[in-house]
Amino acid sequence: MVVSKQNSALERPFFEKPIKLLIVVAPYYKKIADQLVNGARAEIDAATALLELVEVPGALEIPTAIAIAHRKLDFDGYVALGCIIRGETTHYDTVCNDSSRALQLLGLQGACIGNGILNVENLNQAEDRSDVSKQNKGGGAALAALHLIALSQKWGKPKRNVGFLTIDEISKT
């Protein structure tokens, strides 16, 4: 067993105006998901931000739900929460890689996302990482989203489009 080191973390950012975050969680492993949500909720509450929570069937659906919300709704940021535990097939690798890659692409398009989808070998690792009194990865994901929102607000609106345009965006130009 590897003992994890205590890493340094940035201080929670301060916001002059209320911000709103969407937590998207896949409750496939309900106990783990609940602990991740508890950690994220505590961090968001401490930042006096508003939050909404939505559940999706699995980790592969998390990026799609965030993409829909980012296009259609007015959230400042997103927290992706779930757990993928290695099984006997390569499905684990597919779900880990594809969900992470999709979240990264959304981030590159301007979505402020904290990724709290656990990729673990076993249930004990998931429990340690989700527990708010241990590694608190849900809280860490919420804090990451808060920092990205603060950075986005600091730098203001984009000067030019980055990435691909949607059909709606093309029709507006």
- The residues spanned by each domain of the chain are 20-172
The mean pLDDT of 33-54, rounded to a whole number, is 97
The per-residue pLDDT for range 89-136, each reduced to its tens digit, is 999 999 999 999 999 999 999 999 999 999 999 999 999 999 999 999
Q: Which amino acid is at 120?
A: V
Considering 71, 91, 101, 134, which one is annotated as catalytic? 91
| pLDDT for the residue 168 | 76
Confidence of residue 10 (pLDDT cuts 50, 70, 90): confident
| pLDDT for the residue 162 | 58
- Angle 123-130/30-46 helices, nearest 10 degrees? 20
Pair of tokens at residue 66? 């965030």
CATH superfamily of 20-172: Lumazine/riboflavin synthase (3.40.50.960)
Provide the strand spans (E) within the chain. 20-25, 50-55, 77-85, 113-120
| pLDDT for the residue 173 | 64
| pLDDT for the residue 20 | 98
The mean pLDDT of 143-161, rounded to a whole number, is 86
Rounded to whole angstroms, how far apart are CA atoms 60 and 38?
Answer: 21
The answer, yes or no, to whether residue 6 has pLDDT greater than 80, is no
The answer, yes or no, to whether residue 1 has pLDDT greater than 50, is no
Respond yes or no: is residue 91 known to be catalytic: yes
Q: Which amino acid is at 141?
A: A
The per-residue pLDDT for range 45-82, each reduced to its tens digit, is 999 999 999 999 999 999 999 999 999 999 999 999 99
Name the residue with higher pLDDT: 62 or 155: 62
% of residues, the chain, pLDDT over 70? 90
Average pLDDT value over all residues in the chain: 92
The answer, yes or no, to whether residue 87 has pLDDT greater than 80, is yes
